[in-house]
Amino acid sequence: MTHESMKETLRSMREYFNRSTRPLSEEHSGFAPQEGLYTVAGQVAHAAQTIEWFYEAAFAKDWRMDFEGMDKEVRGMTSLSEARAWFERAVEKALHETESHSEEEWASRFPPNPIMGEAPRSSILGAAMDHTAHHRGALTVYQRLLGLKPPMPYMEM
């Protein structure tokens, strides 16, 4: 996978996420369909955190496995605008990280691990995209519950 194709995929992921969540505003930050679920701000923060998590692990010695601590960090997010800013920073870091390693390094395989197995390091891109799409879908449901009309994520309508 080329640097350019990886970066284009990241840019598309960001565009689809931002477009499909555009109707949500700061006043919706604390909404969750029921107690115990992520809030709107928490959903966006979790998507951002996971992008960082995948890209930090791509060339790190170990995966960060403090899921309880990571969950607390996300649940502490109370502002949608701050969560969106985190998401933007996470994508920018991923774009930078993409350029920071050669295409050969991205094609190299992970050492055995419980998250990605021994897949090529570039496979984190697909995992980050799938995860972000999952939370984009959840936020679409949140929008419906709030009486909002979610836009088509892939193009302006």
Single pTM value for the model: 0.95
Average pLDDT by stretches of 10, the chain with 157 residues: 94 96 98 97 98 93 90 97 98 96 95 91 95 96 97 80
Distance CA 84, CA 67 (A): 21
Give the pLDDT confidence score for residue 89 in this predicted structure.
98
Give the pLDDT confidence score for residue 102 in this predicted structure.
95
Radius of gyration of the chain (CA): 16
Phi, psi of 154 (to 5 degrees): -95, -10
Give the pLDDT confidence score for residue 60 in this predicted structure.
87
Number of CB atoms found within 10 A of residue 50's CB: 19
Can you give the residue ranges of every domain in the chain? 3-145
For residues 80 and 28, the answer to whether their CB atoms sit within 8 Å is yes
Give the pLDDT confidence score for residue 63 in this predicted structure.
85
| CATH number assigned to the domain covering 3-145 | 1.20.120.450
